[in-house]
Structure 1
Amino acid sequence: MANLKNNLKKPFWLSLAPKEKVIFAQHLASMLDAGIPLHEALSVLKDQIAQPSLKYVIDVALIDLADGLPLHVSFGKFPKLFDSFFINSISVGEASGTLPGTLRYMAVQLEKANELRSKVRSALLYPVIVFMGSIGIGAYLAFFMLPKILPLFKTLDVQLPPTTRALLAISSWLTAYWPWVLMGLAVFLVCFNLLMRSVPAFRYHVYKFLMVIPVFGRLLREMQTAQFSRILGTLLSSGVTIVPALKVTAKSVDNPVYKKELEIITASVDRGETIGQELQKHPQLFSRISASMVGVGERTGKLSESLINMAEFTEREVDDMTRNLSTLIEPITLMLVGIMVGFVALSIVTPIYQITQGIHM
């Protein structure tokens, strides 16, 4: 079978969108529910899928299944495509004989998490587009309009106002050094991206800084609380015991600050503490409501239900926050755009007005 794997055509870049994972899990669950064996279901899905990375993963899984390996072990060979939550959910489903139900439930939870991320991205996209558009307008006025009328100012020996002189200085400097500016910006972005990917301490401190930013920091905390509670609730509903479920959740959350604190919470729970008590010790990450809901779930023996309810409650909070954030950001963005474009326009119009006044006099 090793020779078969060597003959497979591996894509140059393995990638899998969250939506594609959801659809794959839904379709596989439907086929297994219909009584189709796992090997045959994967073969049928492979023929219907156009996504090269997923097709390659299924090819590897088919070979591994023929070798007697379970599905979660095969998918575990691709940690960049499938996180610990996905792998462990499949493992529990295989062990308990409830793989179709586990896949369907996991797909629902993943889809809700993806919807939450999409809403936040959409809320932040508009101000970014407006801001970038304003930079483009300002750059056009400063680098194309102003240089064309500058000779006129010099010919008429007009005393330029401070705003125009400042804009000319910026324009001249950027015109002379723009290749270096672009190169420096590119180097900064590449280095920042590399540090975020390869230096955990740097990534941790960046996230810690983001979480203290007013409004945005609270939004991040609510998103991570929703992710934590949904993953943990799903794992517990699938039959995973509390400590292993917490370990998987800690590996699966995106935010390194939460990851570190969840590792501490996991160790405490392993020593006999309750999750609700531990969440109360981290008020900077988890709200009182979250800790209370978890505590009630532990006392009533319905922790998984409480966590899923908490996830849905927090997601509604995030939904409200993104709408309010859009309402708050739009006027601020427009005001900044107006100031920037107004400064450039004023720098150009003021000396022209001085010239016309001089002519009339």
Structure 2
Amino acid sequence: MKKDKKIEQKIIPLKKKNSILSFSFGFAEESQYFVESLSMLLASGMDIIEALEAIKAEVKSTQLINIIDELVENINSGFSLWQSLEKTKLLPPHIISLIKIGEESGRLHQSLAVVVVQQSKSQSFKSKIRAAMMYPVFVMGVAMTVGIGIAWFILPKLSTVFNQLNLKLPLVTRLLMSFGSFLSKYGSLVVPIFILGISIIFYFLFFYRKTKFIGQAILFSIPGIKNLIREVELARFGYIMGTLLEAGLPVLEALNSLGESGTLRAYGKIYTLLKDGVEEGKSFEECFHSNPKIRKLIPTTIQSLIAVGERSGRLGKIFLNISESYENKTELTTKNLSVILEPLLLVVVWLGVVAVAMAVILPIYSLVGGLNQNPQSTSSNKSVQIPPPKPVIVAVPVLPTSTIMMATSSPIIATSTITIVTPIIIPTTTPTSTPTTSTLPISIPKIPTSGTLEILGFSSIYTLPNAKSEIVQQAAVGERFKYTDTKIGWYKIVLSPDQFGWVSAQYIQIVSFAP
């Protein structure tokens, strides 16, 4: 009894000192290096103390160095390796169980070799989930960064330009410009707060121990991710149970170690139910039938395999076969998930690009439409009112009927002649034209009907000055042609000495005029 108290006094301070290690980032890689090195050194015939000292010389982490010092001190005091490791929280419970079995059976280096393989598989399972999630997270992160940069630095300048033009902006443009103006004023404060908030939410959803079950529930609601997580956990479940049972550990202790090492809350509840059922004397088959909800996470075929293995006494091998089967499935699911996610992410990014493009292009179209209407309104507003011509009064002598003439055989003698001057109004315009007002448009210089032109954009050459006529050929940017005639919006160009075509005025510029 005194010796047991002495053991607790030696080991309890170690637990207090290093209990936080299980929450340290990057410590899983160091623990894996520790087990791999210890396994190789013990397999070569080296003593445990010498192996620990050799590992300590290569380790750079202060935390791991302190743990090794405590392990050496406890082992020199007569404690076993698994007892010393159990209190440090350096390794999960199922690995401690394997080390305990190996140490008690005299096959410690073999148990450590199994632990190394198990750690490697555990890292592989985790990396598959991370690899499946890394691509969408990276793409969405880059898209969000680019979007914030555009909204912060470019949209405010466009907003200033559009405001100066006094255009009626579409709704999507107004929303985008308002967001850009908001970022230009408060971006230096809002963007860091936004990034910090996203980081905090991400940490509490997927890393913080007490709340990460929420993030797990979110992942389980995504169809493709749900299947991958289930396959990874079933592969892990089969490998750990199979390894522990094949090593000789009782089923109850194996389930206990599995539950303590689990990371998913949903499967942790299942492992607890199985452990409680086995403690009550139930078989795996009875535990599965008494909890129908288990079927959602452990398929019926897997339940049947476990029941058959339990009845045949080959439960450990059955679990290892389940692990191998689902490990192969995770490889295929990971590849398929990447193939499915890639086009979906492209569609999401494309929608964002289209929204920004429409917000910028629609006002430009409105501006072009306004410019096309302005010349007509300007010419109608600037019409010149010509006053009516002033009448000119001209005096013309007229012989009225009151002129009296007498005819005789003798020469005519006018006894009396009266001349009356009558005013006659003669208009300055021609007699057939009597307008009172005349509206004349602003004079436009006459474009010569021949010369040389250059193609500004890829354009079609037509047989007639009509876009519905037959296309002769396509004109490339920069080509020059001589034109011999013009019509409204069209130019007749020379293709060959005996071939002509018409090209729209929208895609050309005049290089020179014919003399």
Q: Which category describes the TM-score, using the shorter chain as reference length? A: 0.7 to 0.9
Residue 77 to residue 218, structure 1, CA distance change in 2 (3 Å): same
The range that moved more, 213-222 or 33-42, is 213-222
CA distance in 2, matches of 1:258, 1:118: 19
Deviations 1:229-251 (A, max 9, x none): 22222211222101011011111
Cα 1:329–1:192 change in 2 (3 A) is closer
Counterpart of 1:251?
A: 260
- Shift in Å, 1:101: 0.6
Aligned match for 1:338, one of 350, 353, 360: 350
- Give the unaligned 5+ runs of structure 1: none
Give the distance between the partners of 1:62 and 1:170, measured in 2 at CA. Answer: 62
* Equivalent residue number for residue 327 of structure 1: 339
2:237 corresponding residue in structure 1: 228
Tell me: CA distance 1:190–1:55, structure 2 relative to 1, closer, same or farther (3 Å): same
Q: Does 1:64 align with 2:80?
A: no
Distance (whole Å) between structure 2 residues aligned to residue 16 and residue 64 of structure 1:
26
CA contact (8 A) 2:204 2:212 kept: no
CA displacement, residues 28-52 of structure 1 (integer Å, 9 cap, x when unaligned): 1222122211111111121122333
1:299-338 mapped onto 2 (5 Å cutoff): 299-338=311-350
Deviates more, 1:24-33 or 1:322-331: 24-33
In 1, the alpha carbon distance for the partners of 2:28 and 2:325 equals 22
Contact kept? 2:59, 2:65, Cα under 8 Å: yes
* Shift in CA distance, 38/232, structure 1 to aligned 2, threshold 3 Å: same
- Structure 1 pair 63/295, CA: closer, same or farther in 2 (3 Å)? same
User: What secondary structure sits across from 1:160 in the alignment?
Assistant: coil
Instruction: Give the superposition deviation at 1:62.
Output: 0.5
1:157 aligns with 2:169: no
- The answer on 1:298 being equivalent to 2:291 is no
Q: Shift in Å at residue 177 of structure 1?
A: 4.8
The structure whose RCO (Cα within 8 Å, separation 6+) is larger is: 1
Which residue does the alignment assign to 2:33? 23
RMSD over aligned CA atoms reads 2.8
Tell me the CA shift for residue 209 of structure 1: 4.6
Identify which range, 154-163 or 224-233, moves more after superposition: 224-233
Task: Please state whether the residue corresponding to 1:158 is helix, strand or coil.
Answer: coil
More helix by share: 1
* Counterpart check, 1:351 vs 2:363: yes
Aligned partner of 1:101 in structure 2 is 110
Deviation larger for 171-180 or 65-74: 171-180
Q: Give how far 1:114 is off.
A: 1.0
What SS does the aligned partner of 1:76 have?
helix
Counterpart-to-counterpart distance in 2, 1:161 and 1:90: 70
- 2:472 corresponds in structure 1 to none
Q: Tell me by how many angstroms 1:208 deviates.
A: 3.8
Where does 1:107-146 land on structure 2 (aligned, <5 Å)?
Answer: 107-146=116-155
**Quick one: distance in 2 between partners of 1:64 and 1:223?**
37
Residues 155 and 181, structure 2, Cα contact 8 Å, conserved in 1: no
- Could you tell me which amino acid in structure 2 is paired with residue 207 of structure 1? Q
2:74 matches 1:33: no
**How far did 1:149 drift?**
2.1
1:131-168 Cα shifts (integer Å, max 9, x gaps): 11112222222222121122221222111111101112
CA distance, structure 2, for counterparts of residue 207 and residue 144 of structure 1: 37
Q: Secondary structure at the match of 1:129?
A: helix
Letter in structure 2 aligned against 1:159: K
Aligned to 1:262: 271
2:86 partner letter: G
Give, as a single letter, the amino acid of the residue that structure 2 aligns with 1:310: I
The letter of the residue matching 2:142 is G
Give the conservation status (yes or no) of the 8 Å contact 2:302–2:322.
yes
The structure-2 alpha-carbon separation of the partners of 1:276 and 1:209, relative to structure 1 and needing over 3 Å to count, comes to farther
In structure 2, the CA distance between the partners of 1:302 and 1:56, relative to structure 1 (3 Å rule), is same
Asked if the contact 1:279/1:286 (under 8 Å) is kept, the reply is no
Q: Which is greater in Rg? A: 2
CA distance in 2, matches of 1:28, 1:198: 31
Unaligned 5+ residue runs, structure 2? Answer: 1-8, 374-515
The alpha-carbon distance between structure 1 residues 128 and 195, as it changes in their structure 2 partners (threshold 3 A), is: closer
Q: Which residue pairs with 2:281 in the alignment?
A: 272
Give TM-score scaled by structure 1 length: 0.88
Cα distance in 1 between the residues matched to 2:253 and 2:372: 84
CA contact (8 A) 1:294 1:303 kept: yes
Q: Which residue is equivalent to 2:83? A: 73
Secondary structure in structure 2 of the residue aligned to 1:246? helix
Q: State the AA in 2 paired with 1:144.
A: F
Q: Distance in 2 between matches of 1:345 and 1:292?
A: 57
Identity %: 29
The structure with the largest strand share of the pair is 2
Letter in 1 for 2:121: K
Partner Cα separation in structure 2 for residue 109 and residue 279 of structure 1: 26
Tell me by how many angstroms 1:277 deviates.
4.0
Report Cα offsets for 1:64-86 as digits up to 9, x if no partner. Answer: 1111111122222222x321122
1:23 is displaced (CA, Å) by: 3.3
Tell me if structure 2 keeps the 8 A contact 1:127–1:329.
yes
TM-fit CA distance, 1:103:
0.5
Say how many residue pairs are matched. Answer: 354
Q: Deviations over 1:118-138 (max 9, x none)?
A: 122122211221111112222
Partner of 2:193: 183
Q: How far off is 1:198 after superposition?
A: 6.7
